[in-house]
C-alpha cells in the first residue's frame, strides 16, 4: 500500500510502498482509510518540535474510513462499518483513564505518531478508538470531526457554556469556525467572532456568528464588551495560540466568566492580577479530545446542528501531501481544514 512517511526531521514526506498491516491485535481493527486530516501538529512532528519516537513514521492522526477486518476479540465492530477514529490511545489504567479523562492519560500513545497513521491506504487502530460514522456524513467530514470538531465540543464542556450565554471566539481557523456553531448548539444566545482577517470574519457571520470584530482593532476588548452588554462575555475561547490573543481573551470575560485557552502555545502571557481576583475569573486550559464525546459529535453533525460544508477548504490526494502541508504552513488561500485522500 501507499503511505506518507517521515524519514528525517525537516524533510518532505515521502510517499512509499509499504506492506499492509498484518496480524491485527486481538482488540484492534484494520481500517481502510478514506480521508485523513492534516494539521499544525503534523508540521510540529515534521520539523522535529514534536518528534515521533521512531523513523520512518507514517503520519496522519485525523482518520476516517471503513473497517476492513477486526481482531479476534472485537465484537462491537465488523467489516464494512464506517468509522472516524480518535488518535489518542489511552493506557486505560492510570487515575485519569479510570476517571474517563482519557485525554489526560499519563501514558498515552498516538496514531500517526508512535503508531502508523492515516496518511496511508490502511491503518491498524484499537477498536475502542473507533466511533461509528453515520451514513449521512462524508468520510472527509468524519476526518475533521476527530480533531477540529471534537476539540470544540470538549472546549464547550471546559467552558461550561449553557443556555443564554454570551460567547467570544478568538481565532476563526479550522477549529474556531466549528466552535461558532458548537457554542450555538450548546445554547449560547450570542456568539462574537474575533479575527484579524476580514474574509474570516465574513465566514464567521455566514456560519452563524452574531457579531464579528477585528482582532487587530486597538479597542477589540472594548468592542467585545459593548456587544455583550458592557461587562464582557460569559465565556471566551482562544484558538490562536499567541500571547496577545490569550491576553485579550482573558480581558473579554465578565465577572465570574471563563477564559478557555485552546490554541497550542509554549510561551508565556501576562495577566493583570487585580481583575482576575476581584472578578473571580477562571482561566482554563484544554487538551485535545475525549473519546466519550465522539458519539455526540457524530449526532450533532448528522442532525445538521453542526454544518461542516464550509469547514474543509482543500482535498488533496496522498501523492501530493507535501503540497497540502505547504498550503497549511504558508496559509495559501486562507485554508481552514485540509484533508488527504489516500
Ligand atoms: Zn490534528
Ligand atoms: Zn491512562
User: Which pLDDT does position 113 carry in this prediction?
Assistant: 96
Nearest to 172 by CA among 209, 137, 219, 141: 209
303 part of a folded domain: no
pLDDT digits (tens, 9 = 90+) for 216-256: 999 999 999 999 999 999 999 999 999 999 999 999 999 99
Intra-chain end-to-end CA distance of the chain, in Å: 10
Going from the Cα of 38 to the center of ligand 1, the distance in angstroms, rounded, reads 6
Going from the Cα of 93 to the center of ligand 2, the distance in angstroms, rounded, reads 5
Cα 253 to Cα 237: distance, rounded to the nearest angstrom: 10
Which ligand sits closest to the CA of 94? 2
Give CA angle at 271 (151, 147), nearest 5°: 10
Same domain, 112 and 62: yes
296 part of a folded domain: no
50 part of a folded domain: yes
Going from the Cα of 40 to the center of ligand 1, the distance in angstroms, rounded, reads 7
Same domain, 247 and 176: yes
What confidence category does residue 311 fall into, taking pLDDT thresholds of 50, 70 and 90? confident
Going from the Cα of 151 to the center of ligand 1, the distance in angstroms, rounded, reads 10
Same domain, 276 and 182: yes
Residue 56 preceded by cis peptide, ω within 30:
yes
User: Which pLDDT does position 266 carry in this prediction?
Assistant: 85
Q: What pTM was estimated for this model as a whole?
A: 0.94
User: Which pLDDT does position 332 carry in this prediction?
Assistant: 87
Phi, psi angles (nearest 5°) of residue 257: -80, 175
Which ligand sits closest to the CA of 107? 2
> Residue 285, Cβ neighbours under 10 Å: how many?
8
Which ligand sits closest to the CA of 90? 2
Going from the Cα of 198 to the center of ligand 2, the distance in angstroms, rounded, reads 42
Going from the Cα of 110 to the center of ligand 1, the distance in angstroms, rounded, reads 11
pLDDT digits (tens, 9 = 90+) for 260-306: 999 888 899 999 999 999 999 999 999 999 999 999 999 999 999 99
Domain boundary among 285, 303, 327: 285
139 part of a folded domain: no
Same domain, 115 and 163: no
pLDDT digits (tens, 9 = 90+) for 137-173: 999 999 999 999 999 999 999 999 999 999 999 999 8
The mean predicted confidence, pLDDT, of the chain is 96
**CATH number (domain holding residue 35):** 3.90.180.10
CA 131 to chain centre: 16
Same domain, 74 and 108: yes
Which ligand sits closest to the CA of 144? 1
User: Which pLDDT does position 304 carry in this prediction?
Assistant: 94
Cα 270 to Cα 60: distance, rounded to the nearest angstrom: 34
212 part of a folded domain: yes
Going from the Cα of 21 to the center of ligand 1, the distance in angstroms, rounded, reads 23
Going from the Cα of 97 to the center of ligand 2, the distance in angstroms, rounded, reads 4
For 245, the domain range is: 150-285
User: Which pLDDT does position 36 carry in this prediction?
Assistant: 98
Is 180 buried (19+), middle (13-18) or exposed (0-12) by CB count in 10 A? buried
One-character DSSP codes across 179-220: HHHHHHHTT-SEEEEEES-HHHHHHHHHTT-SEEEETTSTTH
Count: domains in the chain? 2
Q: Which residues surround ligand 1, an ion (CB under 5 A)?
A: 39, 41, 147
**Residue 282 forms beta bridges with which residues?**
258
Amino acid at each position: 500500500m501507499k503511505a506518507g512517511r517521515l524519514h528525517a526531521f525537516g524533510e518532505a514526506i515521502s510517499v512509499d510502498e509499504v506492506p499492509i498491516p498484518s496480524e491485527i491485535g486481538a482488540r484492534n481493527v484494520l481500517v481502510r482509510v478514506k480521508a485523513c486530516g492534516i494539521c499544525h501538529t503534523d508540521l510540529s512532528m515534521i520539523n522535529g518540535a514534536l518528534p515521533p519516537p521512531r523513523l520512518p513514521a507514517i503520519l496522519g492522526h485525523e482518520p476516517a474510513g471503513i473497517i476492513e477486518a477486526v481482531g479476534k476479540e472485537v465484537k462491537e465492530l465488523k467489516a464494512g462499518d464506517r468509522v472516524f477514529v480518535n488518535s489518542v490511545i489511552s493506557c486505560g489504567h492510570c487515575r485519569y483513564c479510570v476517571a474517563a479523562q482519557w485525554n489526560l492519560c499519563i501514558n498515552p500513545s498516538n496514531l500517526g505518531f508512535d503508531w502508523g497513521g492515516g496518511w496511508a491506504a490502511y491503518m491498524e487502530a484499537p477498536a475502542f478508538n473507533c466511533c461509528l460514522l453515520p451514513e449521512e456524513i462524508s468520510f472527509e467530514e468524519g476526518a475533521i470531526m476527530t480533531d477540529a470538531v471534537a476539540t470544540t465540543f470538549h472546549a464547550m464542556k471546559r467552558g461550561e457554556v449553557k443556555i443564554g450565554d454570551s460567547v467570544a471566539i478568538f481565532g476563526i481557523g479550522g477549529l474556531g469556525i466549528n466552535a461558532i456553531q458548537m457554542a450555538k448548539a450548546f445554547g449560547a444566545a450570542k456568539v462574537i467572532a474575533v479575527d484579524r482577517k476580514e474574509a474570516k470574519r465574513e465566514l464567521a457571520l455566514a456560519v452563524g456568528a452574531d457579531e464579528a470584530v477585528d482582532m487587530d482593532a486597538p479597542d477589540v476588548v472594548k468592542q467585545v464588551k459593548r456587544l455583550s452588554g458592557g461587562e464582557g462575555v460569559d465565556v471566551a475561547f482562544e484558538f490562536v495560540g499567541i500571547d496577545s490573543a490569550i491576553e485579550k481573551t482573558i480581558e473579554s470575560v465578565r465577572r465570574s466568566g471563563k477564559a478557555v485557552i485552546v490554541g497550542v502555545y509554549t510561551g508565556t502571557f501576562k495577566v493583570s492580577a487585580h481583575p482576575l481576583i476581584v472578578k473571580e475569573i477562571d482561566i482554563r486550559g484544554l487538551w485535545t479530545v475525549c473519546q466519550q464525546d465522539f458519539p455526540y459529535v457524530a449526532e450533532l453533525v448528522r442532525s445538521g446542528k453542526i454544518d461542516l460544508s464550509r469547514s474543509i477548504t482543500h482535498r488533496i490526494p496522498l501523492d501530493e501531501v507535501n503540497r497540502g502541508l505547504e498550503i497549511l504552513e504558508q496559509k495559501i488561500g486562507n485554508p481552514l481544514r485540509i484533508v488527504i485522500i489516500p
